[in-house]
Every structure is written in C-alpha cells, then in structure tokens.
Chains A and B, each alone.
Chain A
C-alpha cells in the first residue's frame, strides 16, 4: 500500500479523494457524481482526450472562493485542493451556445433520421433544453 497522503479536490463545494484512475477532471467528476453531470460530445472512454467539442467545460479555482477559469474537463488534470464547479449560469450558457453552433451545421431532420432517439447530440441538446438555433440561414462550415 502506498503511504502517500490522500489528496482531495472539491466538486461543487464537496470534498472527494483523487484516485489513481482520475486522469482528468471529467473522469474525477464522473466517478463521484455520475455520468450525466457533465455533458460530452467528443469524449470516448476508449480514446485519448481530444478536446474538440468543449461541451464538457467546467470552471475551476485553485482555492476556495478564488478566481475561476473555464477549462475543458476531459483534458485538464485534476489538481489537489482544486475547486471544480460543474454547473452555473456561465457554464450552462457556454454549453448551450456550443451545442447551438453544432445544430447550425446539422441536418435537423430527426424524425426521418435512423438514430432518432438514440443520438448523443439529441440527448445532450435535450438535456440542455435546446431544440433549434438562432442563426440566420447558416451554410455548411
């Protein structure tokens, strides 16, 4: 057994122990507060973190009540005594705006789509409460 001191970090104010398999904030958060707490699109447990979708963004502070910074949780290591915030107005707005951008580049024909009701994008968008985008006649980017 390792004699190393136990390290902790805080998720939404509550302390949790950092384990050896917690190679990112996302893995740390998922293992303690559930798979759905932080939405993801490009994350796959079998692949190295890619960091493209940014939907898994969370805010972190290095100390209690310290200044926060927005980071993509999938490729940011969890640090001792870090305070992680999984949801607030700024985070939700960022996630919504990113998914909205994805919808501007998407066919939006769910009813006739073969993965209807079995679709990661659809689930994430529904959970965030958005079904459409506000951009005026977007073309394929």
Chain B
C-alpha cells in the first residue's frame, strides 16, 4: 500500500518445500479472510501475492539475478544503476526485500519505530532470527534481541556444543569464520561483526569441528563460489575456479598453496567482482588465513 503496488512475488528456493507449503497455506487463509486479493476488506485497495519457486541457484538471492530468474531469463547479475526501484521486474519499478525485513517492517508499522529501536543496540535494532546447527545441544531457529552476547546465545540458548568445535561460520557461505576465542568478545550486532572483519549476514551458525581441516574448508568455499557464480564477471568466474584449483592441488599434494598469489586473488575478487557472491567469499577465507594460518603452514609457500 505504501509503495503503490498491487502485486507481490515471494521467491522461495525449491529446496525448501516446507516453507513453500506453509506460505501457500498462509496465502490461502488470507484470501479467505479477504486480506489478500481484490478490494481488500471492501476498500478500493487490491493486492495479491504469488510464489515463485527457485530452481536451485544461490545467485538468485542477488536482486538483479532474482528478477532475471522470475522473468525466466538466465539468473545473471545485472549492472546497477538502473536499480530495481527504478527499473526492476519487467522493467517496472520493483522493491526487492528479504522476507525477514518485511516481517520486521510489519512489526514497526503496528507498534511504531520507538518500540522496535528500544530493542537491541542503536544501529542494530530489533530482533534477529538466529539458526544454530546440530553441533549445538539445542539446535534450531531462535528469534533473539539484537545486542545479545554471542556466548549467551551459544551457551544458554544453544545449550553448548555436542562435540569440540574450533570456529563458526556465521552469516551463510559469505559470512565470516569466527574462531571460538572471538565469540567471547562479540554481541549479536551487524556493525560489531563488520568492524572485526566478520559479517553477521543472516546470522545462521555453522560449526566447524575441532579436527576439521581448514584447508579443506577453504576448498569448500572456493568450490561453492565456483559452482554458484553466475559466470558473468571475470574475477568471479575465473577467480573462484583458480582458487578452487589451488586447494585441489594442495589436497592431492601436487603443489603447495602460493600464499602471495592467493592473497592477491582474494583482494582482486573482493574489490573487483560485480556482486557480493564472489566479492564476499574472500571474507571467510581471509578470516581463516588470519586465525588458522598456522594450521596450514606446511601446505603453503610464502614467496609466490
């Protein structure tokens, strides 16, 4: 209503059938109550919601690729400007938001911004859904006040760890890798994570077991971006693949990791990529090199 739209699209990954089923149920319920559809509650405002099911590409979380995917085009990232708000879906002005943002906006509209910003820290306000993986004694998705100490989330809400862990990847595959020792000093806060070189992102937590090889983990990250890159920009498409090859060779023992070249590659991807997929994959890799470099020193040569 605020933006003058009469149609919304919920883009949900095909890998989440339960989410699709739940949202479908909600849409039908709202339609029955005349809270969706034509002339809502007898007013002249009409709004309908549809679901678009993703076909398995991670890049479709990027707004321009998401729009391309809905239109039936190859999910490739577009240059901005034009931004979707001026030229988006079918070249019409489009607002693209994460459902979590829209859910928070609903609460703000109902209860007012003061109520929302009274929770959490000044800049990171409100609550955040935090997903703890099965290495926690109480895995699950929790809605937690921003600003809550991470150690409280992990130890009290999560109930501690089932097995010894050494680090966590927080915020998805592009989020930072936070060593266990840093958890003490962090709160659930976007700015705080960023200032320490991590990224809170969507705040999912993937635990890295104590005996898991960090070289293997970096290989997995490069493999992920090589697989999921839209293939458009040169540093993303080629850089991800070359990074994966370095760690392929280290795993097989055919070559050591050239640390100087790896660092240059990471900066090139971070600064040069068209979008935040291949542009942000260096974040967790740089974190690992910083905190767990010692573990990989026998696999590396410093001078090339």
Contacts and interface: CB of A to CB of B under 8 A. Distances in A.
Interface of A: 41, 49-55, 57, 70, 72, 75, 77, 90, 93-94, 97-98, 101-102, 104-105, 134-139, 141
Contact of A52 (B246, B267, B274): B274
B282 interface: no
Interface of B: 79-81, 226, 232-235, 237-239, 241-242, 245-246, 249, 255, 258, 261, 264-265, 267-268, 271-274, 304
B42 to A, nearest CB: 45
Contacts of B238: 101-102, 104-105, 141
A54 B273 contact: yes
A44 to B, nearest CB: 14
16 contacts: A51-B79, A53-B233, A55-B234, A57-B272, A75-B81, A93-B264, A93-B268, A94-B267, A94-B268, A97-B268, A101-B238, A101-B242, A102-B234, A135-B246, A136-B249, A141-B238
B274 A135 contact: no
B235 A98 contact: yes
Contacts of A105: 238
A52 B242 contact: no
Tell me what chain A mostly uses at the interface: helix, strand, loop, or mixed.
loop
B271 A57 contact: yes
Contacts, number: 82
B274 A138 contact: no
A50 B268 contact: no
A141 B242 contact: yes
A121 to B, nearest CB: 11
A72 B265 contact: no
Contact of A134 (B80, B235, B258): B258
Given A52-B234, A134-B261, A72 B241 contact: no
A135 B81 contact: no
A104 B264 contact: no
Contacts of B232: 51-52
Contact of B233 (A52, A134, A139): A52
Contacts of B271: 57, 70, 90, 94
Contacts of B272: 54, 57, 70, 94, 97-98
A141 to B, nearest CB: 4
Contacts of B273: 54
A57 B271 CA distance: 9
